[in-house]
Amino acid sequence: MSEIVIAPINFSNPELIEKILSELKKYLPYKINLQPLQIDLNFAYSIERGQYYSTKIIQHLLPFSENINGKFLALLEVDLFIPVFTYVFGEAQLNGKVSIVSLTRLHEEFYSGISDEKLLIERSVKEILHELGHNFGLIHCKDWDCVMHSSLGIEEVDIKGIDYCSNCKRMIRL
Protein backbone atom coordinates (compact mmCIF):
# COMPACT_ATOMS: atom_id res chain seq x y z
CA MET A 1 0.00 0.00 0.00
CA SER A 2 1.40 3.37 -0.89
CA GLU A 3 -1.28 5.99 -0.28
CA ILE A 4 -4.37 7.04 1.58
CA VAL A 5 -6.85 9.24 -0.25
CA ILE A 6 -9.00 11.49 1.91
CA ALA A 7 -12.09 12.64 0.00
CA PRO A 8 -14.16 15.38 1.63
CA ILE A 9 -17.61 15.20 0.05
CA ASN A 10 -19.51 18.47 -0.40
CA PHE A 11 -17.39 19.87 2.43
CA SER A 12 -17.98 23.44 3.56
CA ASN A 13 -14.72 24.12 5.46
CA PRO A 14 -11.47 23.40 3.54
CA GLU A 15 -9.34 24.97 6.32
CA LEU A 16 -10.68 22.38 8.78
CA ILE A 17 -9.74 19.58 6.37
CA GLU A 18 -6.16 20.88 6.17
CA LYS A 19 -5.90 20.93 9.98
CA ILE A 20 -7.29 17.39 10.26
CA LEU A 21 -4.85 16.11 7.61
CA SER A 22 -1.92 17.82 9.33
CA GLU A 23 -2.75 15.96 12.57
CA LEU A 24 -3.51 12.69 10.78
CA LYS A 25 -0.05 12.65 9.19
CA LYS A 26 1.49 12.34 12.68
CA TYR A 27 0.02 8.84 13.03
CA LEU A 28 0.29 7.30 9.56
CA PRO A 29 3.51 6.61 7.64
CA TYR A 30 1.74 6.77 4.27
CA LYS A 31 1.39 9.41 1.62
CA ILE A 32 -1.96 11.14 2.19
CA ASN A 33 -3.65 12.73 -0.81
CA LEU A 34 -6.67 15.00 -0.77
CA GLN A 35 -9.42 14.46 -3.36
CA PRO A 36 -12.47 16.68 -2.71
CA LEU A 37 -15.67 15.39 -4.35
CA GLN A 38 -19.08 16.84 -5.13
CA ILE A 39 -21.63 14.02 -4.99
CA ASP A 40 -25.40 14.17 -4.64
CA LEU A 41 -26.05 11.92 -1.62
CA ASN A 42 -29.86 11.89 -1.94
CA PHE A 43 -29.75 8.21 -2.99
CA ALA A 44 -28.69 7.33 0.58
CA TYR A 45 -31.08 9.65 2.45
CA SER A 46 -33.77 8.10 4.64
CA ILE A 47 -36.81 10.35 5.01
CA GLU A 48 -38.01 8.29 8.00
CA ARG A 49 -34.74 8.70 9.92
CA GLY A 50 -33.56 12.07 8.60
CA GLN A 51 -30.13 10.49 8.14
CA TYR A 52 -27.95 8.94 5.44
CA TYR A 53 -27.42 5.17 5.12
CA SER A 54 -23.64 4.77 5.36
CA THR A 55 -23.47 1.34 3.69
CA LYS A 56 -25.14 2.72 0.55
CA ILE A 57 -22.62 5.58 0.46
CA ILE A 58 -19.69 3.13 0.70
CA GLN A 59 -21.13 1.07 -2.17
CA HIS A 60 -21.48 4.26 -4.24
CA LEU A 61 -17.84 5.21 -3.53
CA LEU A 62 -16.30 1.88 -4.59
CA PRO A 63 -15.60 3.01 -8.19
CA PHE A 64 -13.66 6.03 -6.87
CA SER A 65 -11.20 3.66 -5.17
CA GLU A 66 -10.49 1.38 -8.15
CA ASN A 67 -7.33 3.17 -9.32
CA ILE A 68 -5.96 3.83 -5.86
CA ASN A 69 -3.07 1.73 -4.54
CA GLY A 70 -4.15 2.07 -0.94
CA LYS A 71 -7.18 3.18 1.06
CA PHE A 72 -9.97 5.65 0.28
CA LEU A 73 -11.71 7.47 3.14
CA ALA A 74 -14.55 9.92 2.55
CA LEU A 75 -15.31 12.68 5.05
CA LEU A 76 -18.89 13.82 5.24
CA GLU A 77 -20.93 16.45 7.04
CA VAL A 78 -24.17 14.45 7.10
CA ASP A 79 -25.54 12.29 9.91
CA LEU A 80 -25.00 8.57 9.20
CA PHE A 81 -26.82 5.42 10.24
CA ILE A 82 -26.93 1.72 9.68
CA PRO A 83 -30.25 0.01 10.42
CA VAL A 84 -29.18 -1.67 13.69
CA PHE A 85 -27.87 1.57 15.27
CA THR A 86 -29.38 4.99 15.94
CA TYR A 87 -26.30 6.57 14.35
CA VAL A 88 -22.69 5.78 13.46
CA PHE A 89 -19.60 7.99 13.40
CA GLY A 90 -18.31 6.04 10.41
CA GLU A 91 -18.22 2.72 8.62
CA ALA A 92 -15.53 0.76 6.81
CA GLN A 93 -15.04 -2.30 4.69
CA LEU A 94 -13.13 -4.80 6.85
CA ASN A 95 -9.96 -5.58 4.87
CA GLY A 96 -11.31 -3.37 2.10
CA LYS A 97 -10.38 -0.09 0.49
CA VAL A 98 -13.25 2.23 1.34
CA SER A 99 -14.40 3.84 4.56
CA ILE A 100 -16.38 6.91 5.55
CA VAL A 101 -16.45 9.20 8.59
CA SER A 102 -19.08 11.81 9.39
CA LEU A 103 -18.08 14.89 11.35
CA THR A 104 -21.71 15.71 12.23
CA ARG A 105 -21.71 14.07 15.67
CA LEU A 106 -18.03 14.87 16.32
CA HIS A 107 -18.78 18.60 16.69
CA GLU A 108 -19.03 19.55 20.38
CA GLU A 109 -21.82 22.01 19.54
CA PHE A 110 -23.95 18.98 18.59
CA TYR A 111 -24.00 18.11 22.33
CA SER A 112 -23.35 21.28 24.30
CA GLY A 113 -23.93 24.09 21.81
CA ILE A 114 -20.33 25.21 22.33
CA SER A 115 -17.87 25.05 19.42
CA ASP A 116 -14.43 23.50 20.08
CA GLU A 117 -12.29 23.14 16.95
CA LYS A 118 -9.37 21.47 18.75
CA LEU A 119 -11.69 18.78 20.13
CA LEU A 120 -13.33 18.34 16.71
CA ILE A 121 -9.93 17.77 15.08
CA GLU A 122 -8.92 15.24 17.76
CA ARG A 123 -12.22 13.38 17.46
CA SER A 124 -11.97 13.41 13.66
CA VAL A 125 -8.43 11.99 13.68
CA LYS A 126 -9.52 9.24 16.09
CA GLU A 127 -12.47 8.20 13.93
CA ILE A 128 -10.45 8.37 10.70
CA LEU A 129 -7.72 6.17 12.22
CA HIS A 130 -10.42 3.83 13.57
CA GLU A 131 -12.14 3.32 10.21
CA LEU A 132 -8.81 3.00 8.38
CA GLY A 133 -7.88 0.38 10.98
CA HIS A 134 -10.88 -1.66 9.85
CA ASN A 135 -9.71 -1.23 6.25
CA PHE A 136 -6.33 -2.60 7.38
CA GLY A 137 -8.15 -5.62 8.83
CA LEU A 138 -8.27 -4.66 12.51
CA ILE A 139 -11.34 -5.41 14.60
CA HIS A 140 -12.33 -3.60 17.80
CA CYS A 141 -9.64 -3.64 20.48
CA LYS A 142 -10.29 -4.09 24.22
CA ASP A 143 -7.52 -1.61 25.12
CA TRP A 144 -9.07 1.77 26.01
CA ASP A 145 -5.82 3.50 25.00
CA CYS A 146 -6.16 2.12 21.48
CA VAL A 147 -7.97 4.06 18.75
CA MET A 148 -9.53 0.74 17.66
CA HIS A 149 -11.59 0.57 20.85
CA SER A 150 -15.30 0.63 20.00
CA SER A 151 -17.11 3.95 20.50
CA LEU A 152 -20.86 3.78 20.96
CA GLY A 153 -21.08 7.40 22.10
CA ILE A 154 -19.07 10.60 21.94
CA GLU A 155 -17.84 10.08 25.52
CA GLU A 156 -16.13 6.89 24.42
CA VAL A 157 -14.53 8.68 21.47
CA ASP A 158 -13.10 11.19 23.94
CA ILE A 159 -11.88 8.55 26.39
CA LYS A 160 -10.09 6.21 23.98
CA GLY A 161 -6.55 6.82 22.80
CA ILE A 162 -5.63 8.64 19.59
CA ASP A 163 -3.20 6.04 18.25
CA TYR A 164 -3.15 2.29 17.66
CA CYS A 165 -1.90 0.20 20.60
CA SER A 166 1.35 -1.74 20.15
CA ASN A 167 -0.55 -4.98 19.44
CA CYS A 168 -2.71 -3.38 16.72
CA LYS A 169 0.35 -1.63 15.24
CA ARG A 170 2.14 -4.97 15.06
CA MET A 171 -0.85 -6.59 13.34
CA ILE A 172 -0.91 -3.93 10.60
CA ARG A 173 2.87 -3.50 10.54
CA LEU A 174 2.96 0.18 11.48
User: Active-site residues: which are they?
Assistant: 131
Longest dimension (CA), the chain: 43
3-state DSSP of the chain: CCEEEEEEECCCCHHHHHHHHHHHCCCCCCEEEECCECCCCHHHEECCCCEEEHHHHHHHHHHHHCCCCEEEEEEECCCEECCCCCCECEEECCCCCEEEEECHHHCHHHCCCCCCHHHHHHHHHHHHHHHHHHHCCCCCCCCCCECCCCCCCHHHHHHCCCECCHHHHHHHCC
Residues forming a β-bridge with 50: none
